[in-house]
Amino acid sequence: MVVVVTGANGQLGQAIQSISDHYPNIDFIFCDSATLDITDLNNIKPIFKQFKPNYCINTAAYTAVDKAESEPEKAHLINVIGARNIAEVCKEFDCVLLHISTDFVFDGTLSPRAQSRGYSEDDSTNPLGVYGQTKLEGERAIQSTWKKHFIIRTSWLYSQFGSNFMKTMLRLASERDSLSVVNDQIGTPTNALDLAECLLTIISHTERTPSADNRQPTTDNFGTYHFSNEGHCNWYDFAKEIFKVNGVKVDLKPIPTTDFPTPAKRPKYSVLDKTKIKSTFNLEIKTWEESLYLFFKGY
């Protein structure tokens, strides 16, 4: 089985690479933006023609949330045009597409009653900024182009790779005696390794339902799913736990979002309901606290 992974130099792409040895039955083709530029249709096709992948995991994206407000054209090019391009090529080569999206497609105004479960895949979307809007448009471009797709929305991703909140907190704590972190945005941290394992579980599960010609699977499970670790917290809670696990001493102060203005608005609440993905693929998902502890103390 051949799996092409785009955006291989990003944190999720690198996380997949770090566990790829656990899947000897998969021939991974890792492509960074220099090798496979999703914004250029003619750049994608030769890779697919050469390797004939059964699956493509598209982790390539424009993820600079605040910068997107001043670079909407670039965000649109990567997150919308790029998503459509990769879907078109997947369709041409009959390749199943796994595409990563975000909790930022929601506006955070879920009713208190519904917050007991979190956002489901069927809840109304209403992005607050350019990043979320372009990711939502990318989802729609895929849905209208190629039926054999899995769109996986995730949240608050962290890892040892790239730039993320966890690494920023540890760096700032080494430079300062005190830190202020917002405490009125609620979501769920997601270990990129757990997301990587989830994606490969989806592929393994889908492979067990082959079509008559044994070339590609047929399944009723294609569609949109939510994945993050279990539980929820605010950014202040997340930072506090990061420091606790690492034995870092710093004066950590909670502040409201109004005290930390940013170019892009964030949803105040973006917890994702994982019921659908857990039941469909028989997944057991760690709590965010457990996964964070295991990340630092070793699996």
For the annotated catalytic residues, the residue numbers are 131
- For residue 299, give the 3-state DSSP assignment: coil
Q: How many CB atoms lie within 10 A of CB 234?
A: 18
96 beta partners: 55
Q: How far is CA 112 from CA 8, 153, 233, 259, in A?
A: 39, 21, 15, 24
Concatenated DSSP letters of 176-218: -SEEEEE-S-EE--EEHHHHHHHHHHHHHHHHTSB-TTSSSB-
- For residue 163, give the 3-state DSSP assignment: coil
Q: Give the DSSP H/E element, type plus range, for residue 233.
A: strand 233-234
CB contact at 8 A, 87 and 137: no
Alpha carbons 64 and 75: distance in angstroms, whole number: 9
